[in-house]
Structure 1
Amino acid sequence: MDNLIRISASEAARRIANGNLTSVRYTEALLFRIAEREPVVGAWIHHDPDAALAQARAADRRSPAGPLHGVPVGLKDIIDTADMPTGYGSPIYAGHQPGHDAPSVAQLRAAGAVILGKTVTAEFATYHPGKTANPHNPAHTPGGSSSGSAAAVADFHTPLSLGTQTAGSIIRPASFNGILGYKPTFDDFDYGGLHALAPSLDTLGVFARDFEDLSLSRQVLARRSVRAVTAPAALVPRIGVCRTPMWPKGDADMQLAYERTVERLASAGAELVEIELPADFESLIDAQTLIFMAEGAHHLDREWREQGALLSPELRELLERGRACGEAAITEAQALAIRCRAQLADLMRSVDVLLVPSSIGEAPAGLHATGDPLFSRIWTYLHVPCLTYPVGLGDHRLPLGVQVVGRHGDDDRLIEIAWWMAERSAEWTFVD
């Protein structure tokens, strides 16, 4: 049973398709793990074992058709589901039942997936955290806002889960939990049926423990036809070593893990190129934060006006700042992003990917906050695909990750190259 919960979604799908595993048996194993660990981790806001098993039994009665046939998947609780409540991490929507599945959920169901349940999100995918703890040490945050989705994959509740990123809500929790986190090129996955926060930033993404699963998720969720990535890049990549202007704000653990990764990749024969970002990039953090606040204030305006007392103090403060953003500042921030996207495209003609930090350091102690998204903000704003993988432990024996940034729209190549890099520099530390 313990070994079964550790297999990838891709391997589970293969075993189910060839008759060596049933969806019911696999789902039962994961449900047993959830029952055992949920009191500690608190990854789920809604899961119904009977409903999950009913889906699994139905999958076992059908011939495998889709690439995720019979495989359980978790969903961040800002993703609408017709058969489960969707609360968006807020008491305003306690018990809220959407009338339709989000397009991404419909795609998962069409691919044969078993929807295992809804994972905990911070309030409206912002900063006020839910109940989830880091499975490596429950006294520390799992990150956010996709807290439950990251913790559920790290703790072997599910092999695959969906999250979202508007600042750093996929990359940071994946790094904190020692797993893979993938934010695709902006708008590559359909964001319909999710509560919008900042539509020029909001991106649907994936948590997994296996690179092939990231490619599998793209085959199911991408708006366009994509190729299957089933192995690491065959050719040695050209990697841009990009510490970014935020480097001094990273702690010693992160800096050491990053430099150790660079050394390992150099020893493996990678062609490394030191990259300095153009001067304009130093203003991108403030610009992204402004857009995040201004669009958030607009898209949560009804909640602010009608039920503001039920918003957390943190979110009320963010929305107040967003409502004060002037049109001239918004226009300037948007123009900066356009310039920097063009500059980044030029810069990346000389490299296949950039290697950058994923987070300031390990997951901070306490469950009152989810950590700083500093090292993800600019890549989210630039709409490029990003992926994080684990490269070691910090002083508190918690995971640290590095982030690989790809060219706009070149997600399949990003996965291949990051897979190559991880085989030569990753340090996996799984929960017992």
Structure 2
Amino acid sequence: MMSLAELQRRIDHGDLSADDAIAQSCAATDERDKTIGAFVCRAKGARAASTGPLRGIAVGIKDIIDTSDFPTEMGSTIYRGWRPRADAPVVMMLKQAGATIVGKTTTTAFAANDPTATLNPHNPAHTPGGSSSGSAAAVGAGMIPLALGTQTGGSVIRPASFCGVAAIKPTYRLLPTVGVKCFSWTLDTVGLFAAGVRDLAHGLAAMTGRPELLPGAASSAPRIGVVMQDFAGEPEAAGSEALRIALAAAERAGASVRALALPEIIAEAWRIHPTVQQFEAHQAFAWEYRVNYDAMPPLLRGRLDESRGTTPAEYDEARRIADRARAALAAIFEDIDVLLTFSAPGAAPKGLASTGDARFNRLWTLMGTPCVNVPATIAEGGLPVGVQVIAGFGDDAGALEAARFVEEALARG
């Protein structure tokens, strides 16, 4: 994979020109995307910016995020050829930092669960995950060093785990969602994919102008609380093994590790996530669902059909539960630095009929907390499996620092 931080270092030291760095990404994409299918469309003759911390960095944008230079089709025939007049603010943040947008990456239709044809870069017989399928696959295949995705349930962390890349779902609203096709305004979060945790930190710091996100000289040993999320069901063997390996490595490196039982209100929040998501989805997709019903992607249309009876009272109660759960979770972070849990039930499922299960992700999306996927092991079939580092609301720097600690501990073995 391409390391964003290493490319920055080489460009800053004059060992590589910014234009050559872009050319390397374009050449890698020319070669590898023929089989992976991570891009919907690409720029012709992409050039590097002359200034900015991300000059020479090629970026892919999930195709539910508005771009003035490319169509935004959202994986749906309803928006085929649709061209926004303006870039979404998050795209402009990248451009202002000097990044070069080289194309739009595939998304499941409307970032729901109707799969794309994109293949897993480590084993083409398996899904890359979703809904940010193309972004995860493009970084995992070494085509580009940075990509944007979105998460409403588990659409950043899960495909990152399946494709063996680092990813961050930042704190809710750290990155703006204006100009991003809405699914659920309470949940939708823009996230980043990169080769490693250090790369995520450099990318997010450059976009947001927050130097506190940059990695320090050394990461300190965190206090880790391990949560199994029993309310979400049992993980598969590969998921359990990834967590075991990560915990053992963190303990050997000096981290304090202890098991935590989450309060019942947090389990209840996990249960009501679909209520919030689907109630808001009916409003977010009102035009598509009412005016273009037959053209709606079938799996999403079926979910909307099934949830038509959700009442405002049920939605309001779900939001009250979520608020109480967030308060309970904040209290837990008074005694620990981060939580560690599964990024996905296991390795990527075989075939393209499903993008996998978000049951170990959706609680943390509802809580709005920063989450980082760290690749932890390789399962049968050469399929990566990651673990998820979660910090308190607003502590994106702490999430990245602890994730880097776990990443470095795993590298030492």
Common topology (TM > 0.5): yes
1:49 and 1:397 mapped to 2: Cα distance? 33
* Rounded Cα–Cα distance in structure 1 between residues aligned with 2:10 and 2:295: 47
The 1-side partners of 2:13 and 2:195 are apart by 22
What is the match of residue 267 of structure 2? 282
**3-state SS of paired residue (2:333):** helix
Kindly indicate whether residue 347 of structure 2 is the aligned counterpart of residue 362 of structure 1. Answer: yes
Q: CA RMSD in A?
A: 1.7
Q: Which residue of 2 is the match for residue 374 of structure 1?
A: 359
Q: Note the C-alpha offset of 1:294.
A: 1.1
Match of 1:99 among 62, 74, 85: 85
Change (3 A) 1:427 1:388: farther
Q: Distance in 2 between matches of 1:122 and 1:162?
A: 14
- 1: CA distance between counterparts of 2:412 and 2:362? 25
Higher mean C-alpha displacement, 208-217 vs 339-348: 208-217
The 3-state SS of whatever aligns with 1:31 is helix
Which SS does the other structure have where 1:107 is aligned? Answer: helix
1:14 maps to which of 9, 12, 27: 9
CA distance in 2, matches of 1:27, 1:220: 18
Distance in 1 of aligned mates of 2:14 and 2:219: 32
Partners of 2:324 and 2:154 in 1: how far apart?
Answer: 22
Q: Which residue of 2 aligns with 1:336?
A: 321
Task: Read off the aligned partner of 1:420 and give its amino acid letter.
Answer: F
Tell me which residue corresponds to 1:190: 176
Q: Distance in 1 between matches of 2:242 and 2:231?
A: 16
Letter in 1 for 2:174: D
Q: For residue 83 of structure 1, what is the aligned residue in structure 2? A: 69
Identify the match of residue 203 of structure 2 among 200, 205, 217. Answer: 217
Q: 1:401–1:306: structure 2 CA closer, same or farther, 3 Å change rule?
A: same
Identity %: 39
Superposition pairs of residues 59-70 of structure 1, within 5 angstroms: 59=49, 62=50, 64=51, 66-70=52-56
Structure 2 match to 1:255? 240
Shift of 1:23: 2.4
Q: Deviations over 1:258-290 (max 9, x none)?
A: 122222222222111211100122222331111
Write the mapping of 1:6-405 to structure 2, written as runs, cut at 5 A: 6-50=1-45, 52=46, 55-56=47-48, 59=49, 62=50, 64=51, 66-222=52-208, 225-231=210-216, 234-246=219-231, 248-405=233-390
Offset at residue 248 of structure 1 (A): 4.1
Q: Deviations over 1:63-100 (max 9, x none)?
A: x3x11012111110011011111101111001100000
How far, CA to CA, are the matches of 1:427 and 1:225 in structure 2? 29
d(CA) in 1 for partners of 2:375, 2:320: 34
Q: CA separation in 1, counterparts of 2:161 and 2:64?
A: 21
Aligned counterparts of 1:37 and 1:218: Cα–Cα separation in 2: 26
- CA shift for structure 1 position 221: 3.2
1:226, distance to aligned residue in structure 2 (A): 4.3
Paired residue type of 1:87:
E
After superposition, what is the alpha-carbon deviation per residue over 1:243-265, rounded to whole angstroms, capped at 9, x for unaligned?
12246421112112212222222
The secondary structure found in structure 2 opposite 1:135 is coil
SS at structure 2 position matched to 1:197: coil
| CA drift at 1:220 | 3.1
What amino acid does structure 2 have at the position aligned with 1:146? S
Whether the aligned pair in 2 keeps the contact of 1:390 and 1:426 (CA below 8 Å) is no
Q: What CA distance in whole angstroms lies between the structure 2 residues aligned with 1:160 and 1:243?
A: 30
Distance 1:219 1:261 in 2: 26
Aligned amino acid, residue 409 of structure 1: G
| Amino acid in the other structure paired with 1:190 | P
The alpha-carbon distance between structure 1 residues 302 and 426, as it changes in their structure 2 partners (threshold 3 A), is: farther
The C-alpha deviation readout for 1:346-370, integer Å capped at 9, x for no partner, is: 0111000000111010000011220
Superposed displacement of residue 218, structure 1: 2.1
Match of 1:3 in 2: none
> Structure 1 stretches of 5 or more lacking a match?
1-5
Q: Whole-Å Cα distance in 1 between the matches of residues 217 and 131 of structure 2?
A: 30
Whichever residue aligns with residue 375 of structure 2, its letter is P
In structure 2, the gaps of 5 or more residues are none
Instruction: Report if aligned partners of 2:2, 2:144 keep a CA contact under 8 Å in 1.
Output: no
Give TM-score, length-normalised by structure 2.
Answer: 0.96
- Is the partner of 2:26 in helix, strand or coil? helix
